A and B are shown apart, each in its own frame.
Chain A
Amino acid sequence: MGQTLTLSNVGVALQRGGRQVPVVENISLSLAAGETLAIVGESGSGKTTTALAIPGLLPEGATVSGQILLQGQDLRRLAQRALRKLCGARIGMVFQDPLAALNPTMRVGAQITEAIRLHLGLSRRAAWARAVELLNEVGIEGAAARAADYPHMFSGGMRQRVMIAAALACDPILLIADEPTSGLDADLKEQIFTLLARLRADRRLAVLLISHDMSLVARHADRASVFYAGRCVETGPAASMLRSPRHRYTCALLRAAPRLGGGVPAAIRGAMPEPEAFAASCRFAPRCDHAQAECVATAPALTAAPDDEGHIAACFYPATTPVAGMHVPSAAAPSPALSGESLRVEGLTVRYRRGYRSGTARVAVQDVSFQMAPGECLGVVGASGSGKTSLAHAIVHMVPYEGRVLFRGEPLSTLRGAALRRMQLVFQNPAASLDPIQTAGAAIEEALELGGLRDRRQRRARATALLEQVGLANSLLDRLPGTLSGGQAQRVAIARALAAEPALLVLDEPTASLDVSTAAGLLTLLRDLAVRLGVGYIVITHDVAVASVLAHRVAVMQNGRLVEIRNNVPS
Chain B
Amino acid sequence: MLNKLATGAAPLVLLFLFCLLGPAIWPTDPAALNVGAPLAAPSLSYPLGTDALGRDELARLIHGGRETLSVAVPATLLAFTLGTGYGLIAGFASGILARLLMRLLDALLALPSLVVLLCGAALLPLNRVTVGGLIGVTAWFALARVVRTEIMSLRERDFAQAARQLGAGPLHMARRHLLPNIARLLTVNATFLLGDSVLALSALSFLGLGVPPPAASWGSMLQSGIGLMDLGAWWLILPPGFLIAGSLFAAASAGRMFLSEASNQQTKVFWFFSSEKNSLPSS
A–B contact (CB under 8 angstroms): yes
Q: Which residues of A contact B (CB under 8 A)?
A: 396, 398, 417-418, 420-421, 423-425, 427, 429, 432-438, 446-447, 450-451, 480, 482, 493, 496-497, 499-500
| Neighbouring B residues of A433 by C-beta, 8 Å | 158-159, 161-162
Contact: A432 with B157, CB < 8 Å? yes
* A3 and B158 alpha carbons, distance in the complex (Å): 51
Give 10 closest A-B pairs by Cβ, nearest first. Answer: A436-B265, A433-B158, A432-B158, A435-B159, A427-B158, A450-B167, A482-B264, A450-B166, A447-B166, A433-B162
Which residue of chain B has the shortest Cβ distance to A416 in the bound complex? B167
| Neighbouring A residues of B157 by C-beta, 8 Å | 432
Contact: B158 with A482, CB < 8 Å? no
In the complex, whether B172 has a CB less than 8 A from a CB of chain A is yes
Stretch with Cβ within 8 A of A (4 or more), from B57-65, B174-182, B209-217, B250-258 = B174-182
- B166, B168, B176, B265, most chain A CB atoms within 10 A: B166
Contact: B165 with A396, CB < 8 Å? yes
| Neighbouring B residues of A451 by C-beta, 8 Å | 166-167
* A163 and B234 alpha carbons, distance in the complex (Å): 63
In the complex, whether B266 has a CB less than 8 A from a CB of chain A is yes
13 cross-chain CB contacts under 8 A: A418-B167, A420-B167, A421-B165, A423-B165, A427-B158, A432-B157, A436-B159, A436-B181, A437-B263, A446-B168, A493-B162, A497-B162, A499-B166
| Neighbouring A residues of B166 by C-beta, 8 Å | 421, 424, 446-447, 450-451, 496, 499-500
| Neighbouring B residues of A434 by C-beta, 8 Å | 159, 162
Q: With both chains docked as a complex, state the minimum distance between the C-beta of B259 and any C-beta of chain A, in angstroms.
A: 15
In the complex, whether B163 has a CB less than 8 A from a CB of chain A is yes
| Neighbouring A residues of B263 by C-beta, 8 Å | 436-437, 480, 482
| Neighbouring A residues of B161 by C-beta, 8 Å | 398, 425, 427, 433
* A555 and B265 alpha carbons, distance in the complex (Å): 38
Taken residue by residue from 200 to 233, chain B's Cβ proximity to chain A (1 for < 8 Å, 0 otherwise) reads as 0000000000000000000000000000000000
| Neighbouring A residues of B265 by C-beta, 8 Å | 436-437, 480, 482
| Neighbouring B residues of A427 by C-beta, 8 Å | 158, 161-162
* A451 and B165 alpha carbons, distance in the complex (Å): 11
Q: With both chains docked as a complex, state the minimum distance between the C-beta of A258 and any C-beta of chain B, in angstroms.
A: 24
Contact: A435 with B181, CB < 8 Å? yes
* A496 and B167 alpha carbons, distance in the complex (Å): 13
Contact: A420 with B165, CB < 8 Å? yes
Contact: A450 with B172, CB < 8 Å? yes
Which label, helix, strand, loop or mixed, suits the secondary structure of the B interface?
Answer: helix
Q: With both chains docked as a complex, state the minimum distance between the C-beta of A444 and any C-beta of chain B, in angstroms.
A: 10
Which residue of chain A has the shortest Cβ distance to B157 in the bound complex? A432
| Neighbouring A residues of B176 by C-beta, 8 Å | 438, 446
| Neighbouring A residues of B264 by C-beta, 8 Å | 482
* A442 and B69 alpha carbons, distance in the complex (Å): 41
Which residue of chain B has the shortest Cβ distance to A418 in the bound complex? B167
| Neighbouring B residues of A446 by C-beta, 8 Å | 163, 166, 168, 176
Taken residue by residue from 141 to 161, chain B's Cβ proximity to chain A (1 for < 8 Å, 0 otherwise) reads as 000000000000000011101
| Neighbouring B residues of A425 by C-beta, 8 Å | 161-162, 165
* A28 and B176 alpha carbons, distance in the complex (Å): 54
Which residue of chain B has the shortest Cβ distance to A442 in the bound complex? B176
- A432, A450, A451, A493, most chain B CB atoms within 10 A: A450
* A429 and B167 alpha carbons, distance in the complex (Å): 21
| Neighbouring B residues of A398 by C-beta, 8 Å | 161, 165
| Neighbouring B residues of A432 by C-beta, 8 Å | 157-159
Q: With both chains docked as a complex, state the minimum distance between the C-beta of A12 and any C-beta of chain B, in angstroms.
A: 26
Q: With both chains docked as a complex, state the minimum distance between the C-beta of B24 and any C-beta of chain A, in angstroms.
A: 42
Which residue of chain B has the shortest Cβ distance to A427 in the bound complex? B158
Q: With both chains docked as a complex, state the minimum distance between the C-beta of B174 and any C-beta of chain A, in angstroms.
A: 13
| Neighbouring B residues of A447 by C-beta, 8 Å | 166
* A497 and B263 alpha carbons, distance in the complex (Å): 25
Q: With both chains docked as a complex, state the minimum distance between the C-beta of B71 and any C-beta of chain A, in angstroms.
A: 35
* A446 and B172 alpha carbons, distance in the complex (Å): 10
| Neighbouring A residues of B163 by C-beta, 8 Å | 435, 446, 450
* A435 and B154 alpha carbons, distance in the complex (Å): 10
Question: Given B158, B159, B165, B168, which contacts A424 in the complex, CB threshold below 8 Å?
Answer: B165
* A436 and B172 alpha carbons, distance in the complex (Å): 17
| Neighbouring A residues of B172 by C-beta, 8 Å | 450
* A120 and B161 alpha carbons, distance in the complex (Å): 54
| Neighbouring A residues of B158 by C-beta, 8 Å | 427, 429, 432-433
* A447 and B180 alpha carbons, distance in the complex (Å): 17
Given contacts A438-B180, A446-B166, A496-B166, 16 further A-B contacts (CB under 8 A): A420-B165, A425-B161, A425-B162, A429-B158, A432-B157, A435-B159, A435-B163, A437-B180, A437-B265, A438-B159, A446-B163, A446-B168, A450-B163, A480-B265, A493-B162, A497-B162
Contact: A417 with B167, CB < 8 Å? yes
* A57 and B266 alpha carbons, distance in the complex (Å): 30
- A437, A480, A497, most chain B CB atoms within 10 A: A437
- A417, A423, A446, A482, most chain B CB atoms within 10 A: A446
* A480 and B264 alpha carbons, distance in the complex (Å): 10
Contact: A421 with B162, CB < 8 Å? no
Which residue of chain A has the shortest Cβ distance to B181 in the bound complex? A437
Q: With both chains docked as a complex, state the minimum distance between the C-beta of A424 and any C-beta of chain B, in angstroms.
A: 6
* A485 and B183 alpha carbons, distance in the complex (Å): 26
| Neighbouring A residues of B177 by C-beta, 8 Å | 435, 438
* A424 and B263 alpha carbons, distance in the complex (Å): 29
Q: With both chains docked as a complex, state the minimum distance between the C-beta of A13 and any C-beta of chain B, in angstroms.
A: 25
